[in-house]
Amino acid sequence: MLIGKNGSGLKRIGQNAREKIEELIKKKIYLQLFVSVKRGWSKDKKSLEQFGYVF
């Protein structure tokens, strides 16, 4: 959902987070992101509710 085509969404999120952290602590950092995938999340009502969908 957040990853986007060819990882573009995830890359954008990571870059923005890294830039804000670097600005805050005034140092360059390496930010490593991890992705977790839950099978069947798009068909599971509880999972969708966690993402903010209201039924």
Question: Looking at the domain assignment, is residue 18 inside a domain?
Answer: yes
Question: Looking at the domain assignment, is residue 24 inside a domain?
Answer: yes
Q: How many domains does the chain have?
A: 1
Check residue 51 and give its pLDDT: 82
pLDDT higher than 90, residue 6: no
Tokens standing for residue 50: 């966690």
pLDDT in tens, 24-50: 999 999 999 988 888 888 899 998 898
**3 neighbors 17 (Cβ within 8 angstroms):** no
Question: Looking at the domain assignment, is residue 55 inside a domain?
Answer: no
Residues 6+ apart with CB under 8 A from 44: 38
Question: Looking at the domain assignment, is residue 26 inside a domain?
Answer: yes
Question: Looking at the domain assignment, is residue 34 inside a domain?
Answer: yes
User: Confidence band (pLDDT; 50, 70, 90) for 3?
Assistant: confident
Question: Looking at the domain assignment, is residue 9 inside a domain?
Answer: yes
The shares of helix, strand and coil residues in the chain, as percent rounded to the nearest 5, are 55, 0, 45
* Exposure of 54 in the CB half-sphere (CA atoms within 13 A): 0
- Only one residue has tokens 């995830």, namely 10
What is this structure's pTM?
A: 0.63
Question: Looking at the domain assignment, is residue 41 inside a domain?
Answer: yes
Range of the domain at 33: 5-50
